[in-house]
Structure 1
Amino acid sequence: MGNSDEHEMSCSELLQAQALVWNFSVIYVKSLSLKCAIELGIPDIIHSHGQTITLSKLIESLPIHRSKSHCIHRLMRLLAHSGFFVKQTQKQEEKYSLTPASRLLLKQGPFRATTTFLNQFEEKYFNPGLFLSTWFQNSDETPFYTMHGTNLWQVMFQDQELRRKFYDEMEDDSRLIAKVIVEECEEVFKGVESLIDVGGGTGTVTKAIANAFPHIRCTVFDLPHVVAEQGTDHDHNLNFVGGNMFEALPPANAILLKWILHDWKDEECVTILKHCREAIPSKEEGGKLIIIEMIIEDSNIDKERTETQLCWDMMMMAGGGGGGQERNKMAWEKLFLAAGFGDYKITHLGLRSLIEVYP
């Protein structure tokens, strides 16, 4: 006899269930197709054309073997359906143009997301996800450790090319988010006289803040070897200071933590936050902490963005440095209270949020 549960499902339910399983079985094809389009230079070809491009003209411009020409429309059909290109049909000929998403994939675009996307295909990032079930059955800290025998930060320290790609990813993201916060979150910086960007790397966000608000004395605080790579030629209201956020931070009115805390366990986050609390004045004297991170399980965010956030959390679990995670509002509040902060304010920024935290 079969399982009685099978007979309790209607034909419609069975087909819907099968569709969901099939969707998960082929969903990776979307990512691989976009990777192919980027590597063939399709967004740049369309952009260079200066207008909507016909399928035949696109094929002529692609570095492909002539025998594969008839397959390009299938690639473009999927990517247009997924929102990366606009497809039109005029006089029985297909034409394509860019969307805001594909504009982020241009090699020379002012704002790029290509590095973030392509980095996910790096074997050292991707392969630990294949060890998830193995990891759940052992005592290793992360699936990354199960595969490599060490953590992500150690591998990155030893692998110069992987480190370069990581920094490129952070810089590209910082360029985009910097535009958003200086144009859409101007009130956040009202009354701020000095700001420390903790883990600010090359200073992309800090430079944008310094340029937009010349009255703010801005400092990038990062590990000494990172700071040493930035040279000494900086604007009058921007400088770099080396140190360790787990030990102490320089004093300032405001401290910025962009995508820092999701890399660490709760205990380590509390240590960082306590040092932030010690470095800033009271709320009445203008002290604040500015955090840019995801807030998951938010009912105000649509299903598609929630799914992206939850996938990012799983990626942090699989390949992070150990204990990295995305947090919901309750988890963030718990960390703030444990570190001695009393109040906070949230502004949503797409997949992430800007959280102003006050002593």
Structure 2
Amino acid sequence: MSAQLPSIIVPTDAELLQAQADLWRHSLYYLESMALKCAVELGIPTAIYRLGGTASLAGLITALSLPAEKLQCLGRLMRLLASSGVFAMADSTETIYCLTPLSYLLVDGISADGHINHAPFLLTVTSTHYLDLAMGLADWFKKEAKTPPFDHVHGASLFEESMEGLDPEFHKMAIQGLHVHDNFAVDIGLREFRDIFLGINSLTDCCYHGDGSTAKLIAKAFPHIKVTVLDLPKEIQKIPADGVVNYVGGDMFKSIPRAQVVVLKMVLHHWSDEDSVKILANCRKAIPSRQEGGKVIIGDIVLDPASGPIMYETQLLMDVCMMLMKGGRQRDLNDWRDIFTKAGFSDYKLLKKFGARGVLEVYP
């Protein structure tokens, strides 16, 4: 006798009305992204910053040289962005908008140490090159495509020479976005995780289209550490020699310069598990035993529902983003453990959560 299937529970009237509202919200989420893109292209965060941190709609119209008749529409755009936390509204008889930490990241021209304008990342992931991937995702699933959606749709690989040949301007912006994504908060990390660098005498930073920023900050914070950067030869050629960091052109899939410690910061999520195991196996060959201080330090996203619904949603969105872009993935602790074991490591430790990311130490 076949098992009895559970009966379908018909939603209540109230649940159906709420479901319709939820469906509207999910269907129109892209308008939030496009509104944010519009605000950056208009220069609204920078304008508010230059106006002293607050601005009225009329002040923004003047500062941005927008037609006066667009004031009401600008107000509707700003109201949406304020409701989602991009901007804040000050208590005032007049509608006044302020920067939040999120919009502060999108201000251009701040000279404070550690500030990085995140506009290149935003404009890259909201470009038509990316939107085309999402629009064609169902078609990609139906086909036996071996390449990630980006390659499948554009016939070129993100960040690589094939994309540079196809669209040089987009390629330049995408590389800038990658640097923003990789380099932000390194200074914060070096303060919060200072102890993990104690006792280290040599370190290799494995980069993926990097610019040497992380290595320079490590060398500045810990002058006693011999710091080496490994990246593709064509990327190393772009970095001016500074006499502080040793720059080596090579391929982390083939070999990694020997050091007491190897750093992989926002690298492995670009790659499949199989490729990540190859990289980690080369890391293991490059370092001494655990007793001699050998370890791999990984800074990357660690999927975790306990991070809270908003942070976890961010992590999951980044996971699908990597699936679309490079065929890589974000990983939870079990996924990380599996690839560490396959690469021949004996143990690992999650040191601390760091925003959407985590910092792990992996031992031979």
Q: Does the C-alpha gap of structure 1 residues 135 and 207 become closer, same or farther in structure 2, counting only changes over 3 Å?
A: same
Moved more, 327-336 or 192-201: 192-201
State whether residues 55 and 93 of structure 1, in contact with CA within 8 Å, keep that contact through their aligned partners in structure 2. no
Report the secondary structure of 1:97's partner residue.
strand
Distance 1:133 1:317 in 2: 13
Question: Separation in 2 of the partners of 1:169 and 1:178?
Answer: 16
Name the residue aligned to 2:80.
78
Distance across 2 between alignment mates of 1:74 and 1:356: 47
In structure 2, the residue corresponding to 1:278 is in which secondary structure?
helix
* Equivalent in the alignment of 2:240: 231
Deviations 1:305-349 (A, max 9, x none): 1111111111221221xx311111111100001111111121211
Structure-2 residue corresponding to 1:22: 24
* CA deviation after TM superposition for structure 1 residue 170, in Å: 2.6
CA distance in 2 between counterparts of 1:257 and 1:156 reads 24
Q: May I ask how many residue pairs the two structures share in their alignment?
A: 349
Q: Is the 8 A contact 1:129 1:315 kept in 2?
A: no
Q: 1:73-110 CA deviation, whole Å, 9 max, x = no partner?
A: 211111111112220242x3111211111110011132
One-letter identity of the residue aligned with 2:18: Q
**Alpha-carbon shift at residue 173 of structure 1 (Å):** 3.0
CA distance in 1, matches of 2:150, 2:59: 44
Alpha carbons of 1:37 and 1:228: their partners in 2 closer, same or farther (altered >3 Å)? same
The alignment's TM-score, normalised by the length of structure 2, stands at 0.91
Aligned 8 A contact 1:112 1:176 in 2: no
Q: Which residue of 2 aligns with 1:94?
A: 95
Report the more deviating stretch, 301-310 or 58-67. Answer: 58-67
Aligned to 2:353: 348
1:279 positional shift:
0.2
Give yes or no for the alignment of 1:284 onto 2:264: no
Shift of residue 162 of structure 1? 3.0
Verify the 8 A CA contact 2:33 2:126 in the aligned structure 1.
no
- One-letter amino acid of the structure 1 residue matched with residue 26 of structure 2: F
Give the stretch that moved more between structures: 327-336 or 62-71: 62-71
Gap runs ≥5 in structure 2: 1-6
Structure 1: runs of 5+ lacking an equivalent: none
Q: 1:175-221 deviations in whole A, cap 9, x for unaligned?
A: 32311211111012111111111116210111111111111111110
Which segment is superposed worse, 117-126 or 286-295? 117-126
Moved more, 58-67 or 338-347: 58-67
The residue number in structure 1 matching 2:142 is 137
Counterpart mapping for 1:1-359 below 5 A: 5=8, 8-90=10-92, 92-109=93-110, 110-141=115-146, 142-152=148-158, 153=160, 155-158=162-165, 159-199=167-207, 201-232=210-241, 234-236=242-244, 238-296=245-303, 298-320=304-326, 323-346=327-350, 347-359=352-364
Deviations 1:281-310 (A, max 9, x none): 1111111101111111x1321111111111
- Report the 3-state secondary structure (helix = DSSP H, G, I; strand = E; otherwise coil) of the residue aligned with 1:196: strand
CA distance in 1 between counterparts of 2:32 and 2:40 reads 12
Contact kept, 8 Å, 2:203 with 2:260, in 1: the verdict is: yes
For residues 171 and 240 of structure 1, the distance between their equivalents in structure 2, rounded to whole angstroms, comes to 17
CA deviations over 1:266-293 (Å, ceiling 9, x no partner): 1111111010000001111111101111
Task: Work out whether residues 83 and 101 of structure 1, in 8 Å CA contact, stay in contact via their aligned partners in 2.
Answer: yes
Post-superposition shift, 1:157? 4.6
Deviation at 1:37, TM superposition (A): 1.0
- 2:329 is paired with a residue whose SS is coil
Query: How many Å separate the matches in 1 of 2:318 and 2:65?
Result: 33
Q: Partners in 2 of 1:157 and 1:290 — Cα distance?
A: 31
1:277 and 1:174 mapped to 2: Cα distance?
Answer: 23
User: What amino acid maps onto 1:122 in structure 2?
Assistant: S
User: Which one-letter code corresponds to 1:345 in the other structure?
Assistant: K
Q: Give the drift of 1:164.
A: 1.9
Q: CA deviation at 1:174?
A: 3.6
Q: Counterparts of 1:47 and 1:290 in 2: how far apart (Å)?
A: 37
**Distance (whole Å) between structure 2 residues aligned to residue 271 and residue 352 of structure 1:** 22
Deviation for aligned residue 1:125:
2.6
The alignment partner of 1:240 has SS state of: strand
Does structure 2 retain, via aligned residues, the 8 Å contact 1:223–1:242? Answer: yes
Instruction: Give the distance between the partners of 2:240 and 2:38, measured in 1 at CA.
Output: 37
Amino acid at match of 1:221: L
